[in-house]
Amino acid sequence: MSLKVLPSELPALPELRDARDMDDPHAGKGFIMHSVRGFIQEMTQGLFAWSEGRSLWPLTFGIKCCAIEMMAFGASRYDCDRMGVFFRASPRQADLLIVAGPATIKLKDVIVRLYEQMPEPKHVIAFGECAICGGPFWDSYSVINGVDKLIPVDIYVPGCPPRPEQLLLAIMKLQELIDERGKAGRRGRGKTQVVGMPEVTREELLAQVMAHPTFLMGHQSGEPRIAPTPDELARATPTGQPAPDAEGRG
C-alpha cells in the first residue's frame, strides 16, 4: 500500500453555500434596499471595508481549551475591545466565527448551520491546531481533520492552545485581508493567511500538508494511518483480517 497522494485527492474548497442570486428581490433582500445598497457600495467601497474591519463582532461559540484562551483574549489583559471586537451571542448579529476547538462528528452540522446563519460579509478564523487539522486528536474516530472541510476558513492560527496575542495578530491580519479585498472590490475569498507563518495561499498550505506523510489525514482516506505493532499483528483478530503494514509507530 503506498502512501503517495494523487493531486486529485486534494479536498476541494467547499464552494460558497450562499448561492442566492443577489438580484432576485425575493431572495431575502428587499428590492429597494438592494438597489440602494448597490449604489452605496460603489461609492463607498473603501469606507465600508474600513468599517467592516474595525468592527468584527465574533460569535460566542467556543468548543475546548482554545475557547478558554478566546475568553482570555476577551478579558482585560489582551482586551479584544480595543480592536472593536465585541462578542455577540446570536449568529445573525455576528460576522466572525472563531472556531476554537476540534470539529467532532457530532458538532459538524452545528458548525455548518451556525456558519450559514451568519449574514454575508462573514469570516472564519480556525483558532488552534484542533480547528486547523484535528491537532493532538488527528487520528481520532470522532474528530474531523480541520474545520476547512466544513466551512471556508480565512485565517489559520497555529498553536495548542495558541496564545491570546496570536488571536490579536489574527484579527489584525483579518483586517488587512478585508482592506485588501475592499480595495480590490472582490467579494470572493482572498489569500488565506496563516498567522505567524509566511504568506501562503490555501492551495500551498494544503499542498504542504498533503505532501508531508505524517500530516496525512488518516481516516479521511479510508485506510488506517498507522496500523498496530508487529506483535499485535501476530495475535491477528479472530476474523483473520490482515492488517496492512506501516512504517513504525509513535
Task: Pick out residues in 117-176 that bind other proteins (CB under 8 A).
Answer: 117-121, 136-137, 139-143, 160-161, 163
Among 37, 149, 189, 191, binds other proteins (CB under 8 A): 37
- Cis peptide leading into 213, omega within 30 of 0? no
Q: Does 65 bind other proteins (CB under 8 A)?
A: yes
127 φ/ψ angles, rounded to the nearest 5 degrees: -100, 110
Task: Pick out residues in 214-233 that bind other proteins (CB under 8 A).
Answer: 218-219, 222-229, 231-232
Minimum CB distance to other proteins, residue 190 (Å): 17
Candidates 64, 55, 66; CA nearest to 157 is 66
Tell me how crowded residue 73 is: count the other CB atoms within 10 A of its CB.
28
Q: Does 235 bind other proteins (CB under 8 A)?
A: yes
Which C-beta is closer to other proteins: that of 139 or that of 204?
139
Among 3, 10, 16, 75, binds other proteins (CB under 8 A): 75
- Written as nine digits, the cell of 232 is 499485535
With contact defined as beta carbons under 8 Å apart, do 182 and 93 qualify? no
Among 101, 173, 192, 202, binds other proteins (CB under 8 A): 101
- Written as nine digits, the cell of 166 is 496570536
